[in-house]
A and B are shown apart, each in its own frame.
Chain A
Amino acid sequence: MGYATILDIAGSILIGAMLLGIILKLNNTASWSIYSNAGELNCQTNLTNMSMMLESDFRKIDYCSDNTNIQDPANAILAADTTSIKFISDLNKDGKMDTVYYYLGPATELNSTANPRDKILYRIVNNAAKLGSDAGITRFYIVYYDINGDTVHTPVASASLSLINDIELNMNIENVTIDSSRANSYWRQARLTVPNIKHR
């Protein structure tokens, strides 16, 4: 075995190591990118699902399928605050009014996730157990407007609940698995019109 052979072996090892390094680095980068992009996709999917659910519920405030059981629109919203709202609606179209309660839980409930900011948005219908999922919501707040477009200050006093005419919903969703601001989706329903409280 001459110098040439040793040089070939050493060169092969060197080139092989470089190729292996490149492959490992490529694999690592690709995995991280896909992981990150999948997180963004999850954020986006959660955002569209949550927004469709919110829109569907909020548009039905004070709706009742039984026209003999329609409630006074002035009493349709039972409580309203920045991160919570309670209202009545015949959600399942059985002619009976249901009480729907949305509220945002504290961030401490989800200490186990990598993202320290995510919270659970709860939805409670009547006296059923509270339902909520970790969709990565980091901000959820509601702004209320009266008929003139002026803000109704929160928490809305009982006497002022009947003044609410339009609702603005804001929601921010981040990736729950990483603490990164990259996977961040924001949704705002600038003026959600609630048709059943219009004819007060």
Chain B
Amino acid sequence: MGGKAILFVVLGFSLTFLLIGQNYNRITLRANDNMTNYANSEISHNIALSGANIACNAFYIDPTWTAGYSNVSCQGGTFSVTCQTLDAVKLIKSIKCISTFQGFNGYSLNTYHDTIIVTLQPSRFSRFAYYSTSEGGTIYWATGDTVKGPLQTQDYLRVSGNPVFLGMVGTKLGVVKKNGSADHPQFLGGLLTGSNVPINSAGVSSVESFALTNGFEFSGHDTVYLNFKGDSLKYRYAWNAKDTTKLISAMVPNGVLFVKGGTARIKGTVKGQLTLGCSQVSTKGGNVYLDSSIAYNSNPITNPSSTDIFGVVAQNNFVIEDNTQNNNSVTIQASIYCQTGSFTADNYSTRGYDGYINLLGGIVQNVRGAVGVIGSGGTITNGFSKNYSYDRRFMFSAPPNFPNTGLYNVISWYE
């Protein structure tokens, strides 16, 4: 009898311990499963991230790359990449990377997937707040200078003191500090040395091809006077000739206006999206002169939803004319592209002090041009002071068919 009772007691305790043990094990396993699930998800995410980055690199090396990848081994899993054109006109493309990773969760082998979608669009020169192929000798960015958007130079970036660069700065040759360690330039948007973005030598001709397709080209005139009047354009071929007025939307459906082999002289108010190109033929033309301020009909500073966008693509120079309209500050709202020349002011060293250049947009020039002269007291004695602002809409938008850099920008990244 006593032996049986002891047996029951032992069996009872064993059963109790088994139940308690099972509960412990279940909780431990669930905790383990939970962490394993999180870890597996992260591995799957990292594989997708790696695949997307590898694909972006392939796309950077060859912008025509569409092959994608299929089941490439990575970190114990695989990824597959497909490329797709989202907009055949704007050349917007998408890279989709799907990862596959098999990991144990509990006693079962589970499959984890993650997806990353990258959207890219051609990078236009209008994206730069400032671009130069040559900095024009030894001009320094100095204390007090602030560049509010992306900057790229194919030259050395020469700095003195504490200039501030709010956007990404790229320099092909590197940074030169005039005063060595005493200079503290602030690159708040990052600095990329060795960055190579050569100017598009076919930029003007590409704009012309679009003007011929569905835009408008002035040809055979030494000078074309263009006075933008919102929806319409007044133009003439001599200063004392009579204006012809046309509705811009009917005249240039694709928004590309071109002056071939002549000089364009511009002023007025721009409404809508417009690009003005100007080419040199033989030795004639290729320069754009600013006769008076040119501004948007709807100012994007006061109206962020403004859709007015203007670009000037000159083969040679963009020149601020030395005249009475421009002797008390000028306003320029556009992205200016000078393929072989500079953004400059006429007679900048001999004209009087003419106030500020109030620029909203960007300047892309082959050689950095001068717009004024600094006197011995450190103030501008001739020409213009600079008040340049970057039009941040140019980060994602561009004037119609503005020259591209040959590269693509990531405009959207989905994880």
Closest B residue to A23 using CB positions: B16
A-contacting 9-mer, from B24-32, B234-242, B372-380, B381-389: B24-32
Chain B residues with Cβ under 8 A from A163's Cβ?
A: 188
Smallest beta-carbon distance B284→chain A, Å: 40
Closest A residue to B186 using CB positions: A148
Q: Does A70 have its Cβ within 8 Å of any Cβ on chain B?
A: yes
Q: A52, A63, A72: which contacts B395 (Cβ < 8 A)? A: A72
Closest B residue to A63 using CB positions: B414
Beyond A44-B35, A52-B41, whether A199 also contacts B410 by CB under 8 A is: yes
Chain B residues with Cβ under 8 A from A162's Cβ?
A: 166
Chain A residues with Cβ under 8 A from B121's Cβ?
A: 67
Beyond A63-B412, A64-B412, whether A41 also contacts B167 by CB under 8 A is: no
Taking chain A's interface residues, is the majority helix, strand, or loop, or is none over half, making it mixed?
Answer: helix
Q: How large is the interface on B (under 10, 10 to 19, 20 to 34, 35 or more residues)?
A: 35 or more
In chain A, positions 30-88 with a C-beta closer than 8 Å to chain B are 30, 33-34, 37-38, 40-41, 44-45, 48, 51-52, 56, 59-60, 63-65, 67, 70, 72-74
Q: Please state if B9 and A41 are interface contacts (CB–CB under 8 Å).
A: no
Smallest beta-carbon distance B1→chain A, Å: 11
Q: Please state if A63 and B413 are interface contacts (CB–CB under 8 Å).
A: yes
Q: Please state if B412 and A40 are interface contacts (CB–CB under 8 Å).
A: no
Q: Please state if A67 and B34 are interface contacts (CB–CB under 8 Å).
A: no
Q: B28, B37, B412: which contacts A70 (Cβ < 8 A)? A: B412
Smallest beta-carbon distance A43→chain B, Å: 10
Per-residue interface assignment for chain B, residues 331 to 348, with 1 indicating a CB less than 8 Å from any chain A CB and 0 otherwise: 000000000000000000
Beyond A48-B38, A52-B38, whether A200 also contacts B415 by CB under 8 A is: no
Chain B residues with Cβ under 8 A from A198's Cβ?
A: 410
Q: Give A63 to B117 CA distance when docked, in angstroms.
A: 11
Q: Give A146 to B187 CA distance when docked, in angstroms.
A: 10
Q: Does A114 have its Cβ within 8 Å of any Cβ on chain B?
A: no
27 contacts between A and B (CB under 8 A): A19-B9, A26-B16, A26-B20, A30-B23, A34-B23, A34-B27, A38-B27, A41-B31, A51-B38, A56-B415, A64-B412, A67-B87, A67-B119, A67-B121, A67-B412, A70-B412, A72-B393, A147-B190, A148-B188, A162-B166, A195-B415, A196-B412, A196-B413, A199-B168, A199-B409, A199-B410, A200-B167
Q: What 6 A-B pairs come out closest when comparing CB atoms?
A: A195-B413, A59-B415, A48-B38, A30-B20, A147-B190, A37-B27
